[in-house]
Structure 1
Amino acid sequence: MRVFAHRGYSGLYPENTMLAFDKAREAGCKAMELDVHLSKDGHLVIIHDEMLDRTTNAKGLVCSYALSELQTFNAGTAEEFQPIPTLETYCKWAKEHGIFTNIEIKTNLIYYPFIEDKVLAMLKKYGLVEHSLISSFNHGSVIRMRQLSPEIQCAFLVGGRGLANVGSYAKNFKVEYYHPDGAFLTKAAVDECKAQGVGLNVWTIDDLGLLQKMITWNVDGVFTNHCAPVLALVGE
Structure 2
Amino acid sequence: MKVYAHRGYSGRYPENTMLSFQKAAETGCDGIELDVQLTRDGTVVVIHDEAVDRTTDGTGLVKDYTFEELRKLDAGTIKGGRYGFCPVPSFEEYCEWASQYGFVTNVEIKTGVYYYEDIEEKTLDIIKKYHLEDRVMFSSFNHLSLERLKELAPDIPRGALLEHAGLGNAGYYCSRYGYACYHPGIRGLTEETVRNCRDHGIGVNVWTINDMESLENTYEWGCSGIFTNYPEICKSWLDHKG
Where on the TM-score scale, by shorter chain, does this alignment land: which range?
Answer: over 0.9
1:33 maps to 2:61? no
Equivalents in 2 of 1:36, 1:150: separation in Å?
A: 20
Number of the residue aligned with 2:95: 91
Residue 98 of structure 1, CA deviation: 2.2
1:201 maps to 2:209? no
Residue 40 of structure 1, CA deviation: 0.3
Read off the aligned partner of 1:227 and give its amino acid letter: P
Structure 1 unpaired stretches of 5+: none
Deviations 1:94-151 (A, max 9, x none): 1012231000000010000111111111111111011000000001111111111111
TM-score of the aligned structures, taking structure 1 as reference length: 0.98
Equivalents in 1 of 2:70, 2:223: separation in Å?
A: 37
Residue 166 of structure 1, CA deviation: 1.1
Residue 229 of structure 1, CA deviation: 1.2
Alignment RMSD: 1.0
Q: Decide whether the 8 Å contact of 2:210 with 2:229 is kept in 1.
A: yes
SS at the partner of 1:213? helix
Equivalents in 1 of 2:117, 2:176: separation in Å?
A: 25
Q: Decide whether the 8 Å contact of 1:158 with 1:179 is kept in 2.
A: yes
Q: Decide whether the 8 Å contact of 1:6 with 1:224 is kept in 2.
A: yes
Equivalents in 2 of 1:225, 1:148: separation in Å?
A: 31
Residue 219 of structure 1, CA deviation: 0.7
Q: What are the equivalent positions in structure 2 for 1:75-114 lying under 5 Å apart? A: 75-77=75-77, 78-79=81-82, 80-114=84-118
Q: What are the equivalent positions in structure 2 for 1:79-158 lying under 5 Å apart? A: 79=82, 80-158=84-162
Q: What are the equivalent positions in structure 2 for 1:1-236 lying under 5 Å apart? A: 1-77=1-77, 78-79=81-82, 80-235=84-239
Q: Decide whether the 8 Å contact of 2:3 with 2:235 is kept in 1.
A: yes
SS at the partner of 1:107? coil
Q: Decide whether the 8 Å contact of 1:146 with 1:175 is kept in 2.
A: no
Post-superposition, which runs of at least 4 consecutive aligned residues in structure 1 deviate over 4 A? none
SS at the partner of 2:34? strand
Equivalents in 2 of 1:159, 1:46: separation in Å?
A: 21
Deviations 1:13-42 (A, max 9, x none): 000000001111112223100000000000
TM-score of the aligned structures, taking structure 2 as reference length: 0.95
Deviations 1:161-202 (A, max 9, x none): 201111111111111110001121111111111111111100
SS at the partner of 1:188? helix
Structure 2 unpaired stretches of 5+: none
Q: Decide whether the 8 Å contact of 2:164 with 2:186 is kept in 1.
A: no
Equivalents in 1 of 2:25, 2:124: separation in Å?
A: 24
